[in-house]
A and B are shown apart, each in its own frame.
Chain A
Amino acid sequence: NAGVTQTPKFRILKIGQSMTLQCAQDMNHNYMYWYRQDPGMGLKLIYYSVGAGITDKGEVPNGYNVSRSTTEDFPLRLELAAPSQTSVYFCASSYSTGWNTGELFFGEGSRLTVL
């Protein structure tokens, strides 16, 4: 099993450009998440999804959009990139039943620099 796969691993954007970070999981997990990690800080939740067709905002959603058309894929779109979006982005997934939330599995991360 590949687990959680993120692409690209590195990307440099100019201010105002747009791009999509891809995330795919092959564990049939229902929950998927996007986090960003800034130096010296914990991870902050951007968006999450509890199943195909359902998404919701996390703590820091401004400047981002997501979609969840399939169980496997959860892309994160950055519109009009700004220097404040320079960060490392992590996608994660888990299997949750409502009574028990399973452990989080993470991708390797996507390092984004906006100049």
Chain B
Amino acid sequence: KQEVTQIPAALSVPEGENLVLNCSFTDSAIYNLQWFRQDPGKGLTSLLLIQSSQREQTSGRLNASLDKSSGRSTLYIAASQPGDSATYLCAVGDFYGQNFVFGPGTRLSVLP
């Protein structure tokens, strides 16, 4: 059974810092991996989707990498801003592409 963990559970940084969020999964036979942002009381917003054949994806100040062999993905946020404060979740798509297993999330606070 696929299990997804995210470390740290919470992170507080000053504005302008570069930071890395980690996602680990136990079964490397994945279809894809997706990073989401969730604001309090809201739904999830997709940030980046990495297919299993890709190593990384970039969107603006965000860069996500995928290393299937080690069961890890990282989300790099450059020049953090207070508006980046949210919970960040990763989700791993299974081999059939029919199920996503979610991590518990990392709660990020960027202090002005």
Contact = CB atoms under 8 A, between A and B. Distances in A.
A58 to B, nearest CB: 7
Interface stretch (A12-20, A62-70, A78-86, A101-109): A101-109
Contacts of A28: none
Contacts of B49: 102-103
A107 to B, nearest CB: 6
Main secondary structure of the interface of A (DSSP, over half): strand
Contacts of A74: none
Contacts of B103: 42
Interface residues of B, number: 25
A91 B8 CA distance: 27
A45 B93 CA distance: 12
Contacts of B34: 103-104
A109 B46 contact: no
Nearest to A6: B43
Contact of A48 (B4, B46, B89, B99): B99
Given A90-B44, A108-B42, A100 B51 contact: yes
Nearest to A40: B104
Interface of B: 4, 31-32, 34, 36, 41-46, 49, 51, 89, 91, 93, 97-105
Interface of A: 4, 31, 33, 35, 40-45, 48, 50, 56, 58, 90, 92, 96, 98, 100-109
